[in-house]
Amino acid sequence: MNIDPLLAPSLLSADFLRLADELAFLKSSGADVVHVDVMDGHFVPNITIGIPVVEALKRETQLTLDCHLMISEPLKYAVDFVKAGADWVSIHQEADPHLHRTVYAIKNVGGRAGVALNPSTPIESLSDILGDLDFVLLMSVNPGFGGQSFIENTYNKLRCLDKIRQKNDHSFFIQIDGGVSVANAQALVEAGADCLVAGNAVFKAPNPTEAVKKIKAQMTKVCKS
């Protein structure tokens, strides 16, 4: 991909009592995308936020809203998230036996559609749909909770997916979610990532604004071709 790498701080690590302030901070800090983790307590062992909150977020920011649906039966809700204001919506391969149907439901209402893969799910499971996707989200931790350690095998998976993309001239971008930090941001972009999701590395940093700047500085050291 010939795009500048994007940083998508995850609101999962933000102060939920001050979301409007957190959105203003993301805009002023230079973040590119707002990552919204939607969890249902069924597909993953946690419950977070839903459609009404996404509607409120959309009223408060012009940044791209990236909704990661960690939910069972995503077809029931994916279109409603786009209508609520989500610009990008990702669903899990493991949660949906009808990926093509759900991907095009998202696209048909104007959203950009992605598919997420858990750490143990092979990228080959997407071989028949990669050409239809706007992006692929590789989980670099097991989904459900923030603050987990990065799974090192993600690098191998990322490089493999990037090679498939180049070989087949696909246009999807690659997003990495979980354990992203200043320490690994450059290496992830070098391996093929286009968008990095960072939660605790931004919102739990002593100086969140400086954290955004440092992560982005590492990301942009890489000249991608």
The amino acid present at 90, given as its one-letter code, is: S
**pLDDT by 10s per residue, the chain, length 225:** 557 899 999 999 999 999 999 999 999 999 999 999 999 999 999 999 999 999 999 999 999 999 999 999 999 999 999 999 999 999 999 999 999 999 999 999 999 999 999 999 999 999 999 999 999 999 999 987 777 789 999 999 999 999 999 999 999 999 999 999 999 999 999 999 999 999 999 999 999 999 999 999 999 987 554
- Of 37, 66, 96, 134, which one is the catalytic site residue? 37
pLDDT at 223 (0 to 100) = 58
- Would you call 37 a catalytic residue per the annotation? yes
List, edge to edge, every strand of the sheet that includes 135-139: 6-9, 195-198, 173-177, 135-139, 112-117, 88-92, 64-70, 33-39
**88-124 per-position pLDDT tens digit:** 999 999 999 999 999 999 999 999 999 999 999 999 9
Is 177 a catalytic site residue? yes
Q: Of 32, 40, 96, 177, which is the active-site residue?
A: 177
